[in-house]
Amino acid sequence: MKRSSHLTVALVQQSNSDNAADNLAKSIAGIRDAASQGAQLVVLQELHRSLYFCQTEDVDVFDLAETIPGPSTHALGQVAKELGVVIVASLFEKRATGLYHNTAVVLEADGSVAGKYRKMHIPDDPGFYEKFYFTPGDLGFMPIQTSVGKLGILVCWDQWFPEAARLMAMAGAELLIYPTAIGWDPRDDHAEQIRQKDAWVISQRAHAVANGVPVISANRVGHETDPSGQSAGIQFWGNSFIAGPQGEMLCEANNSDEQVLVIELDQQRSEHIRRIWPYLRDRRIDHYHDLGKIYRD
C-alpha cells in the first residue's frame, strides 16, 4: 500500500524535576495529547526522564542510566502500541558497566523498537560536561526506517554540524529530528541570549534548506539549578519548532511554557523542493576531500 504524503507530527516541550517517574508521566501525557490531535509521530526532548544532570560531574548520576530495551522503552512501547503512534525518545543508555551513551530510540507504532541513534558529537563546556557521562556514538549517521517514513535522528550538539544533517539526508532521511537540551546562562544579558537562541534556530533551519527536508527540534524549558552552586544554572529556552523543507517556520513554541505542537506535513513538498533546488545533484564531491581533515594547515 502506498504511504500517504501527509504526515501529522508533534513535539513535546516540557520542564523537568528530579523525579524520573513524574517526568516520564509528563512525557506520556504529552504524547497522549498529541495523539488526540491526530499526531502519527511524536518527538520528545533530550533526556526527558531527568534533570539535565551534565551541569556537574557526579558518578552517582550513572544510576539514572538504563538498558535499551529497558523500563522506559517498555513503558513508551506500550503507549505507542495503544495509540498507534511512532515515538522518538531520548534516554541515558547503559550499554555495559562503565559504558554509557546519550541515545535516541524510536518506538514503532506496534510498540517495538524500530532503531536507535547514539549521539555522535559530545560537548564538554561549562555547564555541559557530557564527555564525563557519554561515550561518542558508534552507529554512524543512519536514518531509522519506520511506518511513517525514514527518520534522521540527531541529538542536540549534533544540530550545529552540517555534515551530520547532510549524511542523514544522503542516506535517505525524510525528516531531520533533533531532541535537544539547550538554554541560557541567566547571567548573560538579554542581547547575548537572543543571539544564542537565534543562532540555534538559524542553524537548524539551514539544515532544512540545504537538504530539502523538514526539521523537528524539541527543546526542554524551565530553569534547572546547578547542584554544585558554582553557576546560576541553566534557563532552558524552549522555542521548540518545526520547519519545512525551505526552512520556513511552520510552528514554534515560546520560551517559558510547556507546550505540545502538532502540525501536518506534506512530504511531497520535499520532492518538489529538491527538483527546483537540486543541491545533491550539484555537490562537487570530487573537490571535497579536505573535509576529511580536522583543519587545513
Spot the catalytic one: 26, 94, 119, 197.
Answer: 119
| Residue 156 designated active-site | yes
- The grid coordinates listed for 240 are 521548540
pLDDT band at 138 (very low <50, low <70, confident <90, very high): very high
Alpha-helical regions (H) of the chain: 20-36, 71-83, 162-170, 190-211, 268-276, 279-282
Distance CA(223)–CA(270), nearest Å, equals 37
Residue position matching grid coordinates 527536508: 213
- Give the pLDDT confidence of 211-248 residue by residue, as tens digits: 999 999 999 999 999 999 999 999 999 999 999 999 99
Confidence bin at 4 (pLDDT 50/70/90) = confident
List the catalytic residue out of 156, 174, 197, 224: 156
Q: How far is CA 32 from CA 27, 79, 113, 126, in A?
A: 9, 8, 19, 36
Amino acid at 183: G
Q: What is the mean pLDDT of residues 1-8?
A: 80
116 is catalytic: no
| Residue 210 pLDDT class (50, 70, 90 cuts) | very high
> How far is the C-alpha of 243 from the C-alpha of 269, rounded, in Å?
12
Sorted by where each starts, the structural domains of the chain and their CATH numbers stand as 6-281 (3.60.110.10)
pLDDT of 253 above 60: yes
Q: How high does pLDDT run on average in the chain?
A: 97
Q: What is the pLDDT of residues 13-50, one digit of tens each?
A: 999 999 999 999 999 999 999 999 999 999 999 999 99
Check pLDDT > 60 for residue 1.
no
- Catalytic annotation present for 82: no
